[in-house]
């Protein structure tokens, strides 16, 4: 959420920032609401002063026997009481309207974010690893012979409908091994604190991280009012919701492996084959909570953590910075990691690492108290996939596939698979 004082002081700069997001004339709407709200608050305060003054005179008029003045003052006090109540009610409604408007406005992007219309205008930062030259036509993950027995879309459709999968046997074990490997690497090598969180959260938590009020259709809500998390970003970031933390406790670096749920609203017809785009999936999510002057460096550190997973798995990938037309609602700047999928002959997103600045912290009222004293400041929050487990499974299967329908598995996973190194064409693990 944005600081209304910043918009009052710098409306032109705010409009220029929103224009990069494709929005125009935003400050005029915000400031009109703000001015009307403040005018009503001022009028209510003036009416209160008049009522208080009249109240003091009522007793004097009564004592002097001036019945006419007594009645006039008593009527004035009653009228001012009604006026104050009306003005306060109107101001409260406009305050809520202003808050809702501010909640729907996207974050101000970093000047480092390139201008662009969509993902085609994202800018590549680096490319690591060389895609394998296959001596045959590589297949998509769900077409590989050894995978078919362990990736059941028909049963999932019977159970839950489209965009679900049942993983079985060796494929399920590889999927589990990937999540365990990612967690261990982030904890042991990257110094993140392993955290286990609920997947059902209160509505307030989605407001805190920016999924609500604007993107409610992208998530699932239960009859009881809980929401299913689209990612552990929601729970991990909201651990500081409403808190005043000590500077000495920063930075806070967390990682969690959770089920995630997304309605995929607006994605009809996209990636309907295989398990690339599912309603239920797993992610290993990283979240950092830091001081403002540390968030830029932390963004690069988190990007390196996600890249490290791909490098350990031996998967070719590229890192891009998202342009203004593709960046997320709450981000100041975002790096996407795109892994090479030979079955599709293209790079596909497997991680998105975003610096949100103080945008989420303002929505959550999450601040820190400087160790040397001074005014409390809003925290900076960052989040990133480390990685999407299902997409990592796809990448491992497609990049390791062999002509006979088997899959050579990354060395980093061997210890998690009981020393097994290969998925056979029959769908079993072998040494």
Catalytic (active-site) positions: 262, 277, 349, 352, 391
Size of the chain in residues: 431
Phi, psi of 211, deg, nearest 5: -70, -25
Q: Pick the closest to residue 255 from 308, 182, 328 (CA basis).
A: 182
Expressed in angstroms, the distance from the first to the final Cα of the chain is: 53
Question: How many whole angstroms separate alpha carbon 269 and alpha carbon 264?
Answer: 11
Q: Which residues have C-beta within 8 Å of that of residue 24, sequence separation ≥ 6? A: 15, 18
Q: Which tokens sit at 190? A: 């990257």
Question: Is residue 225 left, alpha or beta, with left meaning phi > 0 and alpha meaning psi from -120 to 50?
Answer: left
Using a 10 angstrom Cβ sphere, with 0-12 exposed, 13-18 middle and 19 or more buried, the burial of residue 403 is exposed
Q: What is the DSSP string of 71-130?
A: HHHHHHHHHHHHHHHHHHHHHHHHHHHHHHHHHTSPPPPPTTSPP-SSGGG-EEEEEES-
Please give the angle made by the CA atoms of 381, 382 and 385, to the nearest 5 degrees. 150
Using a 10 angstrom Cβ sphere, with 0-12 exposed, 13-18 middle and 19 or more buried, the burial of residue 14 is buried
Cα 254 to Cα 81, 109, 183: the distances in Å are: 52, 24, 10
Cα 299 to Cα 60, 238, 302, 337, 362: the distances in Å are: 69, 19, 5, 13, 19
What angle, 0 to 180 degrees and rounded to 10, lies between the N-to-C axes of helices 11-19 and 26-64?
A: 140
Strand arrangement, sheet containing 317-321: 123-128, 317-321, 333-341, 346-355, 380-388, 280-290, 252-261, 193-194
Q: Is 289 helix (H, G, I), strand (E, B) or coil?
A: strand
Q: Pick the closest to residue 261 from 226, 307, 237 (CA basis).
A: 226
């Amino acid at each position: 959420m944005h600081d209304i004082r910043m918009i009052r002081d710098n409306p032109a700069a705010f409009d220029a920032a929103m224009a990069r997001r494709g929005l125009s004339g935003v400050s005029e709407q915000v400031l009109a609401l703000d001015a009307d709200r403040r005018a009503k608050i001022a009028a209510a305060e003036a009416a209160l002063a008049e009522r208080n003054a009249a109240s003091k005179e009522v007793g004097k008029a009564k004592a002097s026997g001036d019945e006419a003045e007594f009645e006039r003052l008593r009527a004035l006090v009653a009228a001012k009481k009604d006026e104050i109540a009306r003005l306060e009610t109107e101001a409260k409604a406009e305050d809520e309207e202003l808050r809702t408007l501010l909640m729907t406005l996207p974050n101000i992007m970093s000047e480092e974010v390139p201008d662009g219309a969509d993902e085609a205008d994202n800018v590549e930062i680096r490319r690591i690893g060389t895609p394998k030259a296959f001596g045959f036509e590589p297949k998509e993950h769900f077409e590989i012979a050894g995978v078919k027995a362990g990736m059941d879309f028909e049963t999932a459709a019977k159970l839950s409908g489209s965009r679900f999968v049942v993983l079985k046997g060796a494929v399920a074990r590889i999927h589990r091994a990937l999540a365990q490997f990612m967690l261990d690497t982030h904890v042991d090598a990257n110094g993140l604190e392993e955290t286990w969180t609920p997947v059902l959260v209160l509505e307030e938590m989605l407001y805190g991280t920016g999924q609500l009020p604007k993107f409610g259709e992208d998530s699932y809500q239960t009859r009881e009012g809980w929401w299913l998390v689209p990612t552990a970003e929601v729970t991990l970031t909201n651990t500081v919701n409403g808190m005043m933390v000590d500077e000495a406790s920063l930075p806070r670096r967390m990682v969690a492996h959770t089920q995630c749920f997304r309605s995929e609203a607006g994605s009809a017809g996209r990636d309907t084959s295989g398990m690339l785009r599912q309603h239920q999936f797993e992610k290993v999510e990283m979240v950092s909570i830091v001081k403002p002057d540390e968030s830029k460096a932390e963004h690069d550190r988190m990007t390196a953590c996600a890249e490290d997973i791909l490098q350990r798995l031996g998967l070719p990938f590229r890192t891009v910075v998202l342009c203004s037309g593709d960046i997320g609602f709450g981000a100041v700047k975002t790096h996407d990691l795109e892994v090479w999928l030979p079955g599709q002959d293209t790079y596909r997103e497997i991680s998105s690492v975003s610096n949100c600045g103080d945008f989420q912290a303002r929505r959550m009222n999450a601040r820190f108290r400087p160790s040397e004293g001074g005014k409390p400041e809003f925290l900076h929050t960052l989040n990133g996939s480390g990685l999407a487990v299902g997409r990592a499974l796809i990448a491992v299967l497609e990049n390791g596939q062999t002509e006979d329908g088997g899959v050579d598995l990354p060395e980093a996973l061997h210890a998690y698979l009981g020393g097994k190194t290969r998925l056979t064409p029959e769908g079993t693990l072998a040494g």
